Chain A
Amino acid sequence: MSAILEVSGVSKRFGGIRAVDGATFSLQCPGIFGLIGPNGAGKTTMFDIICGRHVPDSGEVRFHAERINGVAPYRLAREGLARTFQECRVLPDETCMDNVLFAAQDKRLGREMLQAVSRGTAARRNTGAEARRLLRLINLERYADQPAGALSYGQRRLLEIVSCLMSKPRILLLDEPASGINPTLLNTLRDFLIEIYRETKIVFLIVEHNMEFIMSLASEIVVMHQGRVLAQGAPEQIQSDKSVIDAYLGQS
């Protein structure tokens, strides 16, 4: 059986900087995976490459054995690759509910035109109920009809994650979900992610700097350093890995 996500020998340079330099790793089975590394290790660039925002200079990315590097982001999204952004993006003018419904809708032009004529259906009501359930899970239900721009930063992050889930992804990439979230909300987020994982059994790949958070959440950790993959393994194994400790403490 082929891996769900396989990154092999991927490189990307911006001018003179090698952001990603021959990174190789693979995610074999569903689970919560962490992607960590010191600042500038190339984690976000890696995400952008997986999601199609950047085209790698060399190497390839395979998703269920299918080569996906160089495929447009919107096509990958329709194939079930969802992501959140490090800087946290929601539609500020839409209500929370509309944000979530927007993520769930079929965005092929033909389908949208059909929908414009055919209007409400049973499927639509089901989507609405599911959206409400997810909003309740992260305590955003009472803001359902408020514009997303009025939410706090942490709440917007949660909304972004819920939106991603509504598109029924097969793999979900979260870029620093815990940053800017207060400790109480952080526990909500952890419980929420574990709950959702139990329900969906999809791949979560999470870039995170909050070690306590990611170590308690992930079943496997990938460590990047200077554009390469340094180590991959269970959290305990990573925490005692000499090269990882060196990378973080700056001896190499």
Chain B
Amino acid sequence: MRLSYSLIVTVAILAFGALAPVIFKTQPYVLYVLTLALCYAIPVVGVNLLYGYTGLVSLGHMGFAGIGAYTTALLMKSAGMPFLPALLIGAIASGGVGLLVGIPCLRLRSHFFIVVTLAVGMILYTLFNNLDSITGGAEGLPGIPRPQRFSLGSWNMEFRSVSGFYTLTFIVTALVFGLQTLLVRSDFGRSLSSVRQDEALASARGVNVFAHKLTAFALSAAIAGVGGAMKVLFLRAAAPLSFELQESINLIVMLIVGGAGYLIGPLVGAIGFIALPEFLRAAAELRLVFFGFVLLVIARLAPRGICGTVELLFRKLSGKDASVVRHS
């Protein structure tokens, strides 16, 4: 039953996403905002893998996104590399940095680990801001080229226009969500979940807790790198401010509001955080006030986020599992 519902939701989201350029043909602004939201949804998927499934909080994930972003941007701008290999190398670079950072950091527990990830994020930001010869310092890297047009026989796709780039971002986001689903629904996902629920039990059952955490951390950093790369390609400029601490915290906020540990939680959170305030025409400063309030309400009344609340309502309405007490 539930599987078929989630299938319907998935198909509906995919159909809407694919048709969005047609639906909003006359409103490029809507497509612009949606693209930006998707650029955030990707790193939130990374955070979801780490926090929602493995139970680790990282406050430095936009730093890893920055590694992927600058790598991709430099490869495309200076080396003239095509989009796809540049994006993959960017992801590998951020994943590699995640791996190296994870080896010492993951030996720490709970809040010590969080503090260290915070520091890592700040260090990465400082590097982006000060390595003038590579990253362009505070001015950033302007003039990053958009991906080349893609031709298959007589069929052409260009990524220069807003709708063209939206389609590209949509495809990348769909692939990232596909990867997330694949990982989470596998034995690997179950092991990660066991690490979140009970580390002692997981290791007594044969899970190499450290190796699993490290893999999850590296994967999540790599996914964040993809998101960062898409963001700078979209904005056509890489600036350190895109990857500062506040942005990392925003990722966590998006995930918690959307629903940590739900496959579509990152999408709900990113659209809620980026797109809704734009349409409500709230100013940037007011948005933070608004979201501080929303976060407070969510934490108090709906700790499992929007997705969790919807699931709960749905269960109550269908009268199913009324007696099941959640022990989480």
Contact = CB atoms under 8 A, between A and B. Distances in A.
Contacts of A103: 205
A178 interface: no
Interface residues of chain B: helix, strand, loop or mixed (majority)? helix
Nearest to B324: A150
- How many chain A residues sit at the interface, stated as a range, is 35 or more
Interface in A100-122: 101-103, 105-107, 109, 111-113, 115-117
Nearest to A78: B206
Interface stretch (A87-95, A129-137, A187-195): A87-95
Interface in B183-217: 183, 186-191, 193-194, 197-198, 200-209, 211-212, 215
Given A115-B188, A116-B188, A150-B327, A107 B208 contact: yes
B188 A149 contact: no
Nearest to B214: A109
A89 B200 CA distance: 9
A116 B186 contact: yes
B203 A74 contact: yes
Contact of A74 (B182, B186, B208, B215): B208
A120 B193 CA distance: 20
A147 B324 contact: yes
B109 interface: no
The range of chain B's interface size is 20 to 34
Contact of A91 (B198, B203, B212): B198
B208 A116 contact: no
B98 to A, nearest CB: 16
A147 B323 CA distance: 11
A77 B189 CA distance: 19
Contact of A112 (B191, B200, B325): B191
Report which residue of B323, B324, B327 has the largest number of chain A beta carbons within 10 angstroms of its beta carbon.
B327
Contact of B209 (A74, A85, A117, A150): A74
Contacts of A107: 187, 191, 205-208
B322 to A, nearest CB: 12
B324 A73 contact: no
B208 A92 contact: no
B300 interface: no
B188 A113 contact: yes
Given A73-B204, A85-B201, A107-B207, A94 B190 contact: yes
Nearest to A115: B187
B328 interface: yes
B326 interface: yes
B205 A109 contact: no
Contact of A116 (B182, B200, B328): B182
B188 A89 contact: no
A113 B207 CA distance: 14
Nearest to B325: A150
A112 B193 CA distance: 13
B193 A109 contact: no
B327 A149 contact: yes
Contact of A51 (B193, B204, B215): B204
A109 to B, nearest CB: 6
B2 to A, nearest CB: 10
Contacts of B321: 146
A45 interface: no
Given A89-B198, A107-B187, A115-B186, A167 B193 contact: no
Nearest to A79: B206
Interface string B306-328: 00000000000000010111111
A220 interface: no
Interface in B46-102: none
A98 interface: yes
B223 to A, nearest CB: 15
Interface centre among B187, B205, B324, B328 (most CB of A within 10 A): B205
A92 B325 CA distance: 10
A138 to B, nearest CB: 18
B125 to A, nearest CB: 31
Given A116-B188, A147-B327, A109 B208 contact: yes
A164 to B, nearest CB: 8
B200 A85 contact: yes
A185 B317 CA distance: 35
Contacts of B183: 116
A149 B326 contact: yes
5 contacts: A73-B203, A73-B204, A74-B206, A85-B201, A102-B205
Interface of B: 182-183, 186-191, 193-194, 197-198, 200-209, 211-212, 215, 321, 323-328
Given A91-B194, A105-B190, 14 more contacts: A74-B206, A77-B203, A85-B201, A89-B198, A91-B201, A93-B193, A93-B327, A102-B190, A107-B208, A112-B191, A115-B188, A116-B182, A149-B326, A167-B205
Which 7 pairs between the two chains have the least Cβ-Cβ distance? A149-B327, A116-B186, A77-B206, A112-B188, A89-B201, A92-B327, A107-B206
